[in-house]
Structure 1
């Protein structure tokens, strides 16, 4: 298994929920974390709470960057910052996401577009704009069309972990736009696995079921638990465990990991 110690991980949706749980898990194993979210103050407070292992020789360098992932120009700014600061991008976790409980015929086009822009396009922008950086680290050289890619097998391979949803593959009431956006994330990840795998970059996707987050607070626990074979909602720490496995297992590639307490079997 690969080590997360000394690696730099960018995590979107990092100020709360699944993204923050993944950040804590990775940081506890010695990774340096850059959190991405929309509010700088919330992010800064989250960074202060990230663990720094006592056994670590060189302390991790945690930080945060506030922007909306649907804004491609801000992703470009992040790429420039990483290059100027000579910071690696070893792991990219796209966990930012929004939802809305509304039937499709009651959802405005603006609302649907916002969900797709954040959940799908935000994930796509991060992958598209950071992949060349990850590939340069692996090869030392890559041109615009990646024709001159030269593999350096001694380099630590990069890894992309996208967070989708069980609703990408299973119908859910009042979540059509959300489901469509998350299905797109699964297909995007599969395409990336084919395109980036030959360059040493792994791409995987996690499909959480109902997890105890802000998104599920308004839902009836009893009704949900009755649907789930395990009889409970998942915990963000359990999603973080799955992300850590995918980040560290060097053969985990094109993995579509259901994490739903058995709900997908019903």
Structure 2
């Protein structure tokens, strides 16, 4: 397994939830992390938490972290960040596309503008990230991309039609894009988390529990944690033969 030390990782959605958990784990193993999000205050708080985590893992060499505030569905945002990183001679070894927004509305009652926002953030943000960052990875003949999809991409979910469509698109993107860039030494994989405990998903899980015991529907009888998703992302990055993999992380729910 390859080390995460002395690498540079861009992590979208890195100011909270799964993205932040991945950033913390990578930073603890010596990765220099670039966080991407829309809220500058949250990004600043997240950067502080990375530094605190490094102090607890002082055996690793110091890493340099930074952040960029922009909407991942803006190609100009991606271009501006990468141009800035190029000026400061920062190579990109890892990209984790974890930015995403959820949905809790029936399609025939949903707001078209909100549906477009879900597609733009979840799917187009991932597409633009892969498109932009892979150009540098191809030039350096190395790199690893992990896209965060969802179990709902293949299993569906009540009130999540557009969200599921956006996440299914990420799976299709990954499977095809991996075929394009593997010959350049660039690996692309996708993670499909099931029900994961985060601040963003908590209201949805509470609503689902009102209709039935959510945990009881999962073979492991519990929800997953963001830290467990981070462990899976690290595995995909570290294993040099992991390419075009679709990894479920759902406590066995996909088998039911």
**Cα distance, 1:212 vs structure 2:** 0.2
Q: Distance in 2 between matches of 1:216 and 1:31?
A: 27
Could you tell me which residue of structure 2 aligns to residue 141 of structure 1? none
TM-score w.r.t. structure 1 length?
Answer: 0.91
Could you tell me which residue of structure 2 aligns to residue 211 of structure 1? 196
Stretches of structure 1 that go unaligned for 5 or more consecutive residues are 139-156
**Cα distance, 1:171 vs structure 2:** 1.7
Aligned residues: 247
**Cα distance, 1:49 vs structure 2:** 1.1
Could you tell me which residue of structure 2 aligns to residue 33 of structure 1? 33
**Cα distance, 1:227 vs structure 2:** 1.0
Could you tell me which residue of structure 2 aligns to residue 2 of structure 1? 2
2:240 is aligned with 1:255: no
Q: Structure 1, residues 126-185: CA drift from partner, whole Å, max 9, x if none? A: 1101111111122xxxxxxxxxxxxxxxxxx31000000000000200000000000000
**Cα distance, 1:73 vs structure 2:** 0.8
| Larger helix fraction of residues | 2
Q: Structure 1, residues 184-227: CA drift from partner, whole Å, max 9, x if none? A: 00000111110010110000000000000123311234621121
3-state SS of 1:115 partner = helix
Could you tell me which residue of structure 2 aligns to residue 135 of structure 1? 138
2:242 is aligned with 1:238: no
2:72 is aligned with 1:64: no
1:1-266 → structure 2 map (5 Å cutoff): 1-50=1-50, 51-52=53-54, 53-57=57-61, 59-138=62-141, 157-218=142-203, 219-220=205-206, 221=209, 223-266=213-256
3-state SS of 1:87 partner = coil
Q: Distance in 1 between matches of 2:166 and 2:97?
A: 13
**Cα distance, 1:56 vs structure 2:** 2.9
3-state SS of 2:68 partner = strand
Moved over 6 A (4+): none
